[in-house]
Every structure is written in C-alpha cells, then in structure tokens.
Structure 1
C-alpha cells in the first residue's frame, strides 16, 4: 500500500513538472532584484528553482537541528513505555510500591498518562496510601476528565455512596460508556429509581457491557426492585403488566411483586403471580417465601401448594411451606406431620422452629422447648436431640420417599 501511494506521488510530481515546463519553456521571463545598490537579474524559472532550493535547505537545517531533540523524545517515550509495562506487571504481581513508582514516572508521557495514572491510583489504594491515591485521582481528573470520573464513580460505588455516584456521572457529556451505564443503573436502583434504570438495559445489550448471565441477573434485579419500589397499587400493576412474560415467570420477580402486592392490598394477585412462577420454574427458596406471605385473608394457598406434592413430594422447602400454611389455618396435626416429614428429608433449623410453634399452639411446652433447642443446635451445626413419642409406623412414614416417574412412566431411583 505504501509503494502504491509513493508511486502516485511521484507520478503527480512528474505531471506537475511537465506542466510547469510547458508554461515556462515558451517564455522564461525576467526577474530583477535590487538590494543596497546591487542588481540581480535572472529568469523566472531559475528564480523559482532557487527559491525552492533555499526553502529546502532551511528545512533540512531545521531537521538536522531537531535530530538530538527527537532522539531524546524517542528515548523518553520508549523509557515511559517500558515503565508502564513493568508497572502493570508489578501491579498484577501485588508489588504495590514498585508499581506506583513506575506508573507515576510513566505518567510524565502525555500519551501514556491516562493508563499510568489509573494503575498508579489502584496501586496506591491497594497498599493503603490514601493521600497518594487521591493525588493520582486528581491528576487523572485534570488530564482525562471522562476516565477520571469513571474511576471515581467506580470507587464510590464500592463504598455504596450511590448519590455521589450519580452526581459524578452527571458530569460526563455525550453518550455514557458501557461501564458508566452499569454503575448508573445500579446506583439508580439503590436510590429507589429502578424503574428509570430499566430503560438502560437496551443500551447495555447493544454495547455488550456485561456477559449474558450477568446482564440477565441485572435485568431480574432491576425488575424486582422496580416492583418493590412501586408507591401505589395502580403503579405496581402497571409496572407488572409492562414486564414480558419471561420476567413475570421468574420467581425472584414474582416474589417481589407478591410481597409488594400484599402490602398494597392486592393479595390475590400477588399470591397468584408467585404460584404461577413456581409452576413454571421451581425454586425451593421461593417456595418457603410462598408459605410465609403475610396475607390478611386466606386465598386458598394450601390446595395450590398441595398440588405441587405430585412433582416435589420430597422437597423439604415445600413440606415446611405446607406446614406453615396448615399452621395459619390451625391444622395442628397436619402441620406436625409435614414438619416431621420435612425433617426426615433434610430440613434444617426452620423446620424445628415451626415444630416448636405448632407444639406451643397446642400447649405442649415440654416438646416445644425441645424443638426450639434443636433449632438452635442445628443452626450451630450440632446434632439435634432425639424426639420421643413417635411410633415406628410414623417414623417409617416420615422416611418414605414418594415414587417418581419420568415422562415415559418409568419409575426413577430416589436421589
């Protein structure tokens, strides 16, 4: 490519020379120069040639005079690059003092100042030199305002100072870089503006600012936060209906909607949404939250939860949730059976605590105290005390595992 460009340049010069000769060959012209009593006479062609030669000599002299300065600059730039490379290697190796020293010196080169100051600030912060870190940050802001603001916003986000993050990012002009968009979205969600932050998801996808799994997690986080922050029932319903079905069937989003709906008097819609999400995607952690929903009136949650027993009969979280729902309806015996079965299937301290609640409600203080003690022991990773009064048939029933079949009807071995 360079050879082709050079050839075009020389061809252009040849054409220009031929054109100049065709103009001057017919009449070379006369040029007369008088200076201090002396008279110089020559042709126009020679005068132009002499003028060009004089400028070439002046340029060549200037180029020769600058050679030492250019050599020194080239040496200084190479030395700065070597310091930058060595400083980044030291930063990666955890040699903070050496990294800061090398990177601070590399920052003397204007072309390398931004990455060098970024590394120097991180090195100073890593070995606890707050004053040096602040000095490098101030120099970065003075040299490269966007990079300095972005680094400052990152540091403030790590300190959970969300208002200051938003204030710092507001100083950037033009489209925000992908990293700034992520920081702004997270800060807005933390300050009760998750609904506004959701508008940035399309830009984050377009810029590929996060890996697909992290972007999906952020989308779920913002959707759940926007529902939790809804101030009124109509706003909550509007935001819920604006979400696509894949978000409505995500247990974490449906759980956020359910709890906010219960708080705003939309108990039936909240319970239905969480149950539908669990039908689509089974999550034991949210099954427990389904059983603990603080509804003011019963909305037939128990039959819906018992229907899940066909597919998840041995899930401890579901058994505990069923016990909680039975407890709310004062079905003490049924709640106790579910809790014994949950404990046999590996439930932890929560099941023992609810067993204590059940026995307390039946005025059985001795067994309730034992259940509460076991809840405390299990939470400390200590073995629980054995219960008395359970017959062999009841113990076998607790340990029994429901038969499970695949889509072809063939029984599966228990896990």
Structure 2
C-alpha cells in the first residue's frame, strides 16, 4: 500500500511537471510579464513564471547541498545524544543500585548533553550526597543554577531545610527566576514558613496547595490543622488572636484540640473570660477529658465559677476521671483539702492513674501529712511502672468501698445500664 501511494505521488508530480512545462512554453505566459537579468554583456530574459521556477529550483539545490554537507555533523550529534541518554540511564540504574561513585561519574558525563543536563546534575548531586561528599554535591547544585533556576531553587531549599535553616530556604524559593513555583516548591515553602514561625503565611498558601494537588487530601488536612494551631500560638495580641480564630474553618473551631490552644493563648494574653467561655461552650456540646483537665489547670483566679461549672458537668459525667481530678484541683486551689481528697479518691477509683496519686500526695503534703504524701507519691511511681498501687493506711473499709462505687447510669428511657455501655 505504501509503494502504491509513492507511485501515485511520483506520477502526480510528473504530470504537474509536464503540464507546467507546456504552459511555460506557450506565448500566453509572456502576458504575465518578463524578467531581464543583465550579467556583464549578456542579457537573460525569462517570463515571470520561469523566473520564479528558477528561484525555487535554486533554493532547492542550496537546501540539498546544505543537507549533504551537514549530514555528518547531524549524525554525530544524534550519536552524542544517544550516548548521553545511555549514560543517563546507566547512571540512574547505578544510583538506584547504590553504586554511588560509578553513578556520579556516569551522570557527570551525561550532563554534557544540554537536553538532559538538569536531570543528570540532580542525580549526580544525589549520588554525592549519598557518599556524604557535600562539597561535590554543592558543586553540582551550583552548576544546576545556570541551566534550570527552578530545580536549583527546589533542591537548595531542600538542603537548607535539612540543615534546619528555614529562612535561607525561603530566600532560595523566592528568587524571581524560580517563579511561579511548581507544586513541590509550594510545599517546601510551606514547610520553611512553618519552621520559621510564620504559620500565618504558610496557612495562606493552603489554597494554592489544594488547587495544584501538591499533597494527598489527608496530608493536606493534617497540615492545615497543624498550621492553624501554630498560628494561634504565634498571636501577639488579642486582636490578632481573635482575627486568626475567625478565619479557621468551623469544623476546626469546634474541635477540642483547637479550643485548647485558643484558650491557652488567650490566657497567656490575659483574655481570661474568653478562654473560659470557649472551653465551657465546647464541653457543653461535646465532652473531652483533656479539655476538662486544661480547664482546671488554667492560671485563672475564677475558682468559684469554674468549680460551679465542673459541679454541673458532674451530674451528666459522674464517672469522668478527668472531671473528678479537675474538681479536686479546684477545691485544693480554694484551700478545701478534705473535699479535694474525696474527689481524688473517687478519681483514683475511676482510673485517673498516677496523676491523681500525685495530686493526692500534694494534698496530704499541704495538710502536713508527709507520711501519707510519701505513700501517694510511691503509688504514683508504681502505677507509672505498671505495678499495682498499695492501699494507703488512712482509709477505712467503708470509705474504700465508697471509693470503688460507680455512680448509676441510666439510658434515655430511665433504665439502668452498665457504665460505658451505649445501648
């Protein structure tokens, strides 16, 4: 079929040539005009179509001569490109196989070819880094700057981050020649901003990261949460803290982890009422043991109101170890050590663990009972080691039975159920 098409093409060209020659030989072609070329004492006269045809034939002859003259050079260039690609492939295979020195040598040779020079230099740099030859790796990186500024910026930033120098990484990525940054560049810049304590700037890049699909959805969501929490920690005044809190997604603002960071920073900025209110509203809607512990430990003087809220929560969460421990700490803060002791025994009975034993030891120490304080601290140590705590001598059998008792829980229909059951 291919030969048949070639034959048809040759016949068509021959037919066009014959008809063209017949037409050029007719006198009607002279009606289009004549071209006279004078060379010395000779005049050459031709019709315009004949002159155009002569020019086309001359150009074709020049092209044919140039093709024949340049053919050896083009063949040599193709041979060099083929050899360069072969060295690149062999170098990458050696790099993957752990033959660092051989890989670097072959990749340096492959870098002589312009088309594959950037990728060859990057791979050679990787081989030098694998051999812990930082000088050679730096040399390859500097050579990369002249041929591909974007790759140079990416790998420079990566090396600065490995050396824990985020500001230098940001400077490397912000060079004008590397703009606009590819997705990996945006990810590296977000990392550098995070490590440099500029979480708000990094948070502003999340939209671009999401649009360019630079990260898997789960990793991007984790990064968003991490940057949002760090952004709250970096707020320098209450106005900045409030503004940053408002820009967070609603799903994040209702999470106990974010509320805890927001409240802690608010207290650090002497915004106590907002801190307490945010925790109270969150605990009213969703219960969280860690948030209850933070509520009792905040350095805020409003012990009466906090204890009243905790007592209210105790009606719906009577078995919460964190809530019982929080009530004990609030009572201890008011100097009511006997009530604090009762809450701590209940917390220990509900599994509050070593932290409750330590708090109980502090309560006994505050009452100048060093012997019982020592027993409690010893029990805290034993529980941290996974050993069974020893009973303290002060509690009689009736009190110990009360400590072990669990408040009765009922379902929505008023029927008793086992603690922790959801049916």
Please tell me the TM-score bracket, short chain as reference.
0.7 to 0.9
Which string of whole-angstrom CA distances, capped at 9 and with x for unpartnered residues, describes residues 385-407 of structure 1?
52333445555555556666777
Pick from 350, 353, 357: which aligns with 2:358?
Answer: 353
Write out aligned runs for 1:371-386 (5 A). 371-379=376-384, 381=385, 383=387, 385-386=389-390
Offset of residue 134 of structure 1: 0.7
Is the contact between residue 87 and residue 98 of structure 1 (CA under 8 Å) also seen in structure 2? yes
Offset of residue 150 of structure 1: 1.9
**2:299 — aligned with what?**
294
Is the contact between residue 24 and residue 49 of structure 2 (CA under 8 Å) also seen in structure 1? no
Instruction: Work out the CA distance in 2 between the residues paired with 1:412 and 1:67.
Output: 91
Offset of residue 292 of structure 1: 1.8
Q: Which moved more, 1:317-326 or 1:114-123?
A: 317-326
Which string of whole-angstrom CA distances, capped at 9 and with x for unpartnered residues, describes residues 113-163 of structure 1?
223322332332233111111112111222111221122122222333222
Aligned residues: 402
Which string of whole-angstrom CA distances, capped at 9 and with x for unpartnered residues, describes residues 143-185 of structure 1?
1112211221222223332222222222135443333333334
Pick from 241, 252, 266: which aligns with 1:261?
Answer: 266
Instruction: Work out the CA distance in 2 between the residues paired with 1:326 and 1:24.
Output: 120
1:142 and 2:143 aligned: no
**1:157 — aligned with what?**
161
Instruction: Work out the CA distance in 1 between the residues paired with 2:157 and 2:214.
Output: 16
Pick from 247, 251, 254: which aligns with 2:256?
Answer: 251
Give the unaligned 5+ runs of structure 1. 1-9
What is the root-mean-square deviation in Å for CA atoms of aligned residues? Answer: 3.9
Is the contact between residue 332 and residue 340 of structure 2 (CA under 8 Å) also seen in structure 1? yes
Q: Structure 2-normalised TM-score?
A: 0.78
**1:233 — aligned with what?**
238
**1:7 — aligned with what?**
none
Is the contact between residue 376 and residue 392 of structure 2 (CA under 8 Å) also seen in structure 1? no
Is the contact between residue 339 and residue 355 of structure 1 (CA under 8 Å) also seen in structure 2? yes
Is the contact between residue 315 and residue 345 of structure 1 (CA under 8 Å) also seen in structure 2? yes
Q: 1:412 to 1:366 in 2, by over 3 A?
A: closer
What SS does structure 2 have at the residue aligned with 1:300? helix
Instruction: Work out the CA distance in 1 between the residues paired with 2:346 and 2:246.
Output: 39
Pick from 74, 79, 82: which aligns with 1:78?
Answer: 82
Give the unaligned 5+ runs of structure 2. 1-9
Is the contact between residue 380 and residue 389 of structure 2 (CA under 8 Å) also seen in structure 1? no
Offset of residue 220 of structure 1: 2.4
Q: Name which one, 1 or 2, has greater alpha-carbon Rg.
A: 2
Q: 1:297 to 1:48 in 2, by over 3 A?
A: same
